[in-house]
Amino acid sequence: MQLRLKAALDRYLNDADPGEARLVRIEIPIPEIDPFVWLNAQTSMERLYWRGRHADSRIAMCGVARDLSGDSRPDYEELALELNGFLERPGAEPRLYGGMRFDLDRIPEEGWFGFPAWRFILPRFELHRHGEKAFLCCNLVLPEDISARDAIYEQIEELNFSGTDLPDELPVPQHRIDNPGFDGWKNQVGWALDAFSRDVLQKVVLARRVDFSFDSAPEPVELLRVLQDATPSCFHFLFESGGSAFVGATPERLFFRRGREVFSEAVAGTRPRGDTSDSDEAYRTSLLASEKDQREHDYVRQSIREILQTYCNTVTVDEVASEMKLAAGRHLVSRLSGTLREDVSDVDLLKGLHPTPAVGGAPRHLALEAINPLEDFDRGWYAGPIGWIGRDSAEFAVALRCGVLKGDTLSLFSGAGLVRGSDPGDEWLEIEQKITDFTRILGLAVRSPK
């Protein structure tokens, strides 16, 4: 396969016009291969992985052909021009994969595991698996890559197609640190309840960080593979940066754009799954009938409606929330769609929709002002937008149910939406339920409030 890639590379680079900007995508069919096995074997380059929520396609990626990134809040107008200018180059239709911090104005805590404030990259190599078919892609950016021929040759030589099967079981963590602990959590919820009583806020989403340390930490690809098997109906992702891996299985879409059509979701209100069919149905009924959860959900739905109305000619909204059923939990969900005006870009949608009240609160600016002094850690890319941008389509999820694996420590992040009537113990258990996607595959039990 390396020889075929090199031969194709030579054909394109030998014929390339140094004065012409183009995007080239070399595709070669390959024997059936597990994308996780292949990705785990690529140890010399940064690795990425993306799978859509209901997609049959799995995409394992490594290396960087183009990197667009920054360490502070971007100028959104300039970012849109840069992204669109790159994507509109003639030739192939690439996808730039990446994400952003939850709070682009906060100074990153210790560099937040080596991740920049925002980053979008065109991978050098992509392995696509659709059902039983697989093919390998090599992306070229011309004329820039004409001078990078030798470096690309070396990267092709480093590609490894002889990976071994991954273990079915993950190591068990030996230590756990909660930030905050339950006493601190009660204080934070108490502050929020007081703000609600004074009509300062309607809703605020507060998060917790839980650090698990291992004697021998799992490899990030191994962790994601087991996580994906345990969490159907989710977006699955892995992004490596600065020696850390950001891994997650989020159920929540921020937006999907196809041409001028846009689709979004309001997701808020949570219950676990039951151990029996009767208890499962009881949880479902409780969620759908809960005035508190319906009120929390409505803040999110109304906010997204108002934002889309500023970008769209028409907007359609589910006025009644339905159930989003997951492997270990369930949420209220309302779906929204619209037809975008011709002048609206994907960057406009990112700027306008993020953060929704599902991860921030309402009113948005007051909730965001409250989060930083209350939370004693940096959210980083947790609860930020994560996904891809293409020429004719784009898709972003909200980076939830996620963690960062760095060295022998896995740091998990999750939050709870607080409104009038919230109880500290119940909200603690809700977060515990949300991180069970990870803790369950690590052989750990839910930690009750103490």
Q: What is the DSSP string of 11-28?
A: HHHHH--TT--EEEEEEE
Q: Which residue has the higher pLDDT, 32 or 374?
A: 374
Same domain for 298 and 270? yes
Q: Are residues 233 and 312 in the same domain?
A: yes
Report if residue 169 sits inside a domain.
no
Question: CATH code at 298?
Answer: 3.60.120.10
129 and 274 fall within a common domain: no
User: 208 is in which domain, residue-wise?
Assistant: 175-441
93 in Cβ contact with 24 (< 8 Å): no
Residue 166 maps to a domain: no
pLDDT at residue 131 is higher than 90? no
- For the segment 373-378, the average pLDDT, to the nearest whole number, is 94
Average pLDDT over residues 34-61: 95
% of the chain exceeding 70 in pLDDT: 100
At residue 55 the predicted structure's pLDDT band, cuts being 50, 70 and 90, is confident
Nearest 5°: the CA angle 401, 230, 122 is 60
Given a contact cutoff of 8 angstroms between Cβ atoms, the answer to whether 380 and 239 are in contact is: no
Which position has the token pair 């000619």? Answer: 313
Kindly state whether residue 115 falls inside one of the protein's structural domains: no
Q: Is the same domain home to 312 and 412? A: yes
Task: Indicate if 251 and 364 belong to the same structural domain.
Answer: yes
User: Angle formed by the axes of helices 182-197 and 424-434, to 10°?
Assistant: 120
Judgement on whether residues 85 and 211 belong to the same structural domain of the protein = no
Q: Identify the band that residue 1 occupies on the pLDDT scale cut at 50, 70 and 90.
A: confident
Q: Are residues 60 and 193 in the same domain?
A: no
Residue 168 lies in a domain: no
**pLDDT score of 247:** 98
151 and 238 fall within a common domain: no
Q: What is the pLDDT of residues 278-330, one digit of tens each?
A: 999 999 999 999 999 999 999 999 999 999 999 999 999 999 999 999 998 99
In a domain, 165, yes or no: no
Q: Answer whether 97's CB lies under 8 Å from 387's CB.
A: yes
Whether residue 449 is contained in a domain is answered as no
| Integer Cα distance of 220 and 410 in angstroms | 10
Same domain, 200 and 282: yes
Q: Is residue 153 domain-shared with residue 201, that is, in the same domain?
A: no
Q: Give the pLDDT confidence of 241-284 residue by residue, as tens digits.
A: 999 999 999 999 999 999 999 999 999 999 999 999 999 999 99
CA triple 204-208-211, angle to 5 deg: 165
The position carrying tokens 């990267």 is 155
> Does residue 112 sit within a domain?
no
Is the domain of 32 the same as that of 152? yes
Give the chain's domain count: 2
Answer yes or no: do 140 and 251 share one domain.
no
